Structure 1
Amino acid sequence: MPARLLHYSDLENGYDDPTRLGRLAGLVADRRSPDTVVVGTGDNTAPGVLSMVEEGRQALDFFEAVDPAADTFGNHDFDYGLDAIREIVADSPQTWVSANVELDGDTFGESVGVVPSTVVNADGAAVGLVGVTEPKTASMCPGATDLTFTDPVAAVSREAESLRAQGVDAVVVLSHLGGDDDELARETDVDAILGGHVHSERVERVDDTILTRPGANGHTLLEIDLEAGTVDRHAVQDGPVDQSVRTALAARRDATGLDEVVGHVSDPLIRDRDRKGRGECRIGNFIADAYRWAADADVGLQNSGGIREGDPLLGEVTVADLVSVVPFDEPVTVAELTGSELRQLCRQADGWQFSALPDRWHAHVSGLSIREDDSGQITATIDGGPIADDETYTLATSDYLFHTDHEFPVLDGHHRVESLDTQYEILAAYARQRGIDPEIEGRIVRAAHETSDQRVGEPID
């Protein structure tokens, strides 16, 4: 079985750094040989600054240069609706494999070439590829609400049996399931599961199945040798630059018209996965403050997952920089909640109490103070005083949270009272008028989650 896989995933904001994506394309070319199969595992069209402007089509610059064998859908690949991703599929060189995404009972995208699985020849070795997507995508992404996401274990089992019957040398899953890859490995007969969705790197074995994730934003390329059972990690920053990709993405970036400087940052605003998902942080305070200010609301709220990872904000900050923080073309929405509902929302900020992402703290707030004691009990105050159950409070947050039951299920469409500008436009307006100088203020204190970076009673940044 002399086959090697080159695995990328979750390129997302990586497109906003043309040199990085140029290096990723150059590294793929450098590592390629006749026995190589190049594959992606979702969220390789969105989100990001260029993605929002181009509705995901900036990915075609990379796809055309790299010429992957296959890719599958991530939840963000549906950010701009079904027609937009269909057009990308039709115009891209790779085969898109999707075994558990259906529209009206048929494989989604079947008319433009999407198939549940495919067989690729790698220097005489037949490698079967099957793709699956997080079943909660319809809840997570407004653009995917018309789709049905079936059980990925059943879908992979069905396709693996078919591929084995065709005599393939190996069955490889292209997965955008995140943490559910482990169950997939235990319940199906496959040789490797190449994953995405979760933004941390991973190289492990579960029940003799190789499991990998390269992380997000195009920093890492993984090379899997199926015969030897080994995985090599290649840092993209060390790769040669594909000038065609860098030039094409730079031209798209220059054409966005989002280069206005709206503020300055002297102390770096960090937005990495660990910081934004563990409690209070400066970037979260900045966003929540901006929402509250724009709406003149009692409370501002930003969900942790909506803050996208990337380089720290430092020095001159442009509109494009703020788009990269929340790269979604959706408005800030004002809602009315009772005090009882507001306290419920505070309890739902902790993923251990509700969420498919139990390791994440979900809330960044303005106007609220939230305390979690060492038993996990959560209490909250508003502007230093108690929250009255029968009082009505106004909340400004991303419109996404009224669509999904994946986070803050207490919020629903009936709470909406007003829509404001797009998220990044709110951030830019706030930066122009109020500056960008957020501080840690003790808005969120999590005694039950003390770490080496956080003493009891002190929020982290």
Structure 2
Amino acid sequence: MGKRTIVTILETSDLHGHVFPYLYGTMQEAPVGLSRVSTIVKRVRQENENVLLVDNGDLIQGTPMTYHTIRSLHEERNPMVLLLNELAYDAAVIGNHEFNYGIEPLHQAVNESQFPWLSANLLGEESSRPVFGSPYVVKETKDGVRVAILGVTTHYIPNWENPLHIQGIEFQDAYEATKQWVAWLRDNENPDVVIVSYHGGFESDLQSGEPTETHTGENQGYKLCMEMAGIDVLLTGHQHRLLAKSDVNGVAIVQPGNNGRAVGQVEITLEDVDGTWKIVQKKSSLLSTADEVPDEELLQKVNHYEQQTQIWLDKQIGEVQGDMIISHPLAARIREHPFVEFIQRVQMDAANTDVSNTALFTNEPAGLPKKVTMRDIVSNYVYPNTLTVLRLTGKQIREALERSATYFQVSENGDIEVNPSFCEPKPQHYNYDMWEGIEYEMDVSLPEGNRVVKLEKNGVPLQLDDQVDVVMNNYRAGGGGDYTMFKGATIVREVQIDMAEILANYFEKHPVVIAKCNDNFRVVCSKKD
């Protein structure tokens, strides 16, 4: 038996700006944040000689701190990049949410980084070269093991992102780019280990191979494992799942959830066979951060950003008369809730339309208290969406309502409940829309595709060829969430201001808001009614 060595790969993914170990909406301690991750990283490095640390994307967006920094402290260094520099990351991959604040903040983050950003399939439309750095990086351990890390990103981004944020970028199919570059690496770089860090997830069950989502091409992880030779390790993300499997058709895979809940780890054992390193074992695992003590030294590095953010968050911006608190999310989706109508009214005011759709993004929405602060706004509206007005036909609106109606199913007791496909493998509560400006009713006891039993505008049935201008967030307007009926629709106008800012501006104009709703929609189950 020849000499053996172990290479340990640590992965973070979908940190979404989480550094501090608490939730901004409530300030309650939570098992999240890069400060807990740091404790794990430092311990693993003390215990192992050959450690590679990779971030898999969706790094710089997602918390009030990252939002406030971009909007108000933009002349300072990006705090997330500052911390990854401090932790000496070996590489990072561009995620879809990296584009949310626009191309300039992203370029700034890349330029401030002391590590390479890998983006093999994000190409300049004119140059056909990677826009944000290198396709890959090769690291060599003290024992001479050559490890190639290739970075690719889900190419589905144009379906979600504000077009202005991705101008001049060609999104090459992630699978095809990976196939091209893995072959090139094997032929030209003589690597002992090939790692693909893919900001994307799995489209099929890892055990059975059965599809777990509509095959849009957004996630191609299973296909990468099953149909492509040459990959030893596949680091994944995007879906916010906790996955670790040492052998998927010979590929070790890992996905560490989101917000710093866990660190993905893959240990690769290699043996020297006649002067060549051969992989003899791979072991994937997840290292939970739940019981880790936050790294106070790391927190001090961004304390200035956090203090400014907390001052901004606690500033009262308005008042609510009545009740906008959400106690039961399912009930707020079955019958109109005053908070939902408020969001719709703000969108229609900002876009000058009389029809709107929106969603409750998570299953833990709080609604708004009597005295409203920015903390309340950002804890409810967690994405930096802008608004888009589409000109839709009655047919497209009906199709969109039918898509939303698949969010529900009927339990054995005849009760309305959430369709499990909107909860697993990834929570997708944000893909159920509610509408304002039309009157409609869904009967979820009927077959999917035939659940909209009433659809009117101003008391008159909406005809298939009627045209209506509808405001919605830019993610949905691009067809995100399998709302394919919106693709190619005429864009009437765009409101290039983040929704959180739009909400704050609304309170500036209307310091007191009255909680009310007109009950324009109902979700029913005729079996029970």
Question: Which category of TM-score, normalised to the shorter sequence, fits these structures?
Answer: 0.7 to 0.9
Whole-angstrom distance in 2 between the partners of 1:420 and 1:148: 22
Normalised to the residue count of structure 2, the TM-score between the two structures is 0.70
Q: Which is worse superposed, 156-165 or 413-422?
A: 413-422
How much is the aligned-residue C-alpha RMSD, in angstroms?
A: 4.0
Question: How many residues align structurally?
Answer: 435
8 Å CA contact 2:13, 2:258 repeated in 1: yes
Q: 1:328 to 1:127 in 2, by over 3 A?
A: same
Please, which of 80, 87, 93 is the counterpart of residue 72 of structure 1? 93
Q: Which is worse superposed, 138-147 or 36-45?
A: 138-147
SS of residue paired to 2:184: helix
Please, which of 196, 220, 231 is the counterpart of residue 173 of structure 1? 196
Please, which of 245, 250, 259 is the counterpart of residue 314 of structure 2? 259
For residues 12-411 of structure 1, the aligned pairs below 5 Å read 12-15=16-19, 20-32=33-45, 33-55=48-70, 57-103=78-124, 104-109=126-131, 114-124=133-143, 125-142=145-162, 143-165=165-187, 166-179=189-202, 180-188=220-228, 189-204=230-245, 205-227=247-269, 228-256=281-309, 257-261=312-316, 262=318, 280=333, 286-287=339-340, 289-292=342-345, 295=348, 299-303=355-359, 307=361, 318-333=373-388, 337-349=392-404, 360=428, 362-367=431-436, 368-377=440-449, 378-379=451-452, 380-382=454-456, 387-389=461-463, 393=468, 395-404=470-479, 407-411=482-486
Gaps of 5+ in 1: 353-357, 448-455
Identity %: 20
Amino acid at match of 1:116: P
- What is the CA distance between 1:43 and its match in structure 2? 0.7
Bigger proportion of residues as helix: 1
SS of residue paired to 1:53: helix
Q: Which is worse superposed, 235-244 or 172-181?
A: 235-244
List per-residue Cα deviations over 1:346-369 (Å, max 9, x = no partner).
1343679xxxxx855623214444
- What is the CA distance between 1:190 and its match in structure 2? 0.7
Alignment correspondent of 1:414: 490
Q: 1:294 to 1:3 in 2, by over 3 A?
A: closer
8 Å CA contact 1:98, 1:131 repeated in 2: yes
8 Å CA contact 1:290, 1:426 repeated in 2: no
List per-residue Cα deviations over 1:216-237 (Å, max 9, x = no partner).
1111112211224222322223
Please, which of 7, 10, 14 is the counterpart of residue 14 of structure 2? 10
Q: 1:387 to 1:407 in 2, by over 3 A?
A: farther
Q: 1:209 to 1:331 in 2, by over 3 A?
A: closer
8 Å CA contact 1:288, 1:301 repeated in 2: no
8 Å CA contact 2:338, 2:516 repeated in 1: no
Normalised to the residue count of structure 1, the TM-score between the two structures is 0.79
SS of residue paired to 1:211: strand
Gaps of 5+ in 2: 23-31, 203-219, 270-280, 408-420, 423-427
8 Å CA contact 2:343, 2:358 repeated in 1: no
List per-residue Cα deviations over 1:38-89 (Å, max 9, x = no partner).
1111111123322233339221232122111111111111223333222212
Q: 1:69 to 1:436 in 2, by over 3 A?
A: farther
Whole-angstrom distance in 2 between the partners of 1:48 and 1:345: 30
- What is the CA distance between 1:173 and its match in structure 2? 0.7
Specify the structure having the higher radius of gyration (Cα).
2
Q: Which is worse superposed, 282-291 or 393-402?
A: 282-291
- What is the CA distance between 1:107 and its match in structure 2? 2.7
Whole-angstrom distance in 2 between the partners of 1:100 and 1:457: 51
Q: Which is worse superposed, 204-213 or 36-45?
A: 204-213
Q: 1:78 to 1:415 in 2, by over 3 A?
A: closer
8 Å CA contact 1:284, 1:365 repeated in 2: no
